[in-house]
Structure 1
């Protein structure tokens, strides 16, 4: 069984529109925060080290989102990230946001495809060997 990475998300005022529900573009920021947290705490490769030291970026080249139910100001959600596939230069990630607690009502489901690119050339590069190895070692992916 593959490992997933769960990040708690507190819906704050900054996420909401005047109706008090999450404004849909804010979910994309939550997805990015989830990926950043997973890379640092789940894989051991922070955005800071990738960008500043290794000059590697991970732009999203494909994003699919299903909005299932609204989320409201003050709610606690859980963002669960799973790796669906690992390509030569990309990852296929799934993120589900659901209400925290036993009920865990799904709110949003997303599929993201980040691609590893050289920041100087902005051309795709192979998934770094250390990241590929960490995906396997930490059971996020099975080759």
Structure 2
């Protein structure tokens, strides 16, 4: 399955008063890492693939993380993201946060491919065949 690595430098504003990354910020990092992974797979920026595939987005319907070690201001981390499963209209993503070769966090997401219906409401839609091929590629 497709994978991609994103590098993040931890900024002062990412941290709590104890000087470690405030945990919700990791989920922001993961959202950006998923977008970067799909942009790499589709060879276009997110704003372009949203238009190209005429989708409303890829909302997250399940997520979780195991926090093993903290990161602090000035640290540089790698987020290794990979597709773990392809459903009819959903896909799974695994994120592994690594610093200096050491695993810091293991996280997962389940996202749904959604389009806007005639009434403007979002609804799931099947993953297009070319998306399946691109995400299933090694």
Calculate the TM-score normalised by the size of structure 1: 0.85
Deviates more, 1:121-130 or 1:50-59: 50-59
Q: 1:49 to 1:118 in 2, by over 3 A?
A: same
Higher-strand-fraction structure: 2
Asked whether the 8 Å contact 2:115–2:125 carries over to 1, the reply is yes
Moved more, 44-53 or 76-85: 44-53
CA contact (8 A) 1:45 1:131 kept: no
TM-fit CA distance, 1:121 = 2.9
Q: Residues 42 and 49 of structure 2 are in contact (CA less than 8 Å); yes or no, is this contact kept in structure 1? A: no
Alignment partner of 1:108 is 2:80:
no
Q: Distance in 2 between matches of 1:50 and 1:85?
A: 20
Structure 2 unaligned residues grouped into runs of 5+:
none
After TM superposition, the score normalised by the length of structure 2 is 0.88
Please report the RMSD computed on the Cα atoms of aligned residues, expressed in angstroms.
1.6
Distance 2:3 2:55 in 1: 27
What pairs up with 1:1-143 in 2 under 5 angstroms? Answer: 2-53=1-52, 54-99=54-99, 101=100, 104-119=101-116, 120-136=120-136, 138-139=137-138
Pair 3,86 (structure 1): closer, same or farther in 2 beyond 3 Å: closer
Ranges of 4+ aligned residues in structure 1 off by more than 6 Å: none
C-alpha separation between the residues in 1 aligned to 2:66 and 2:36?
22
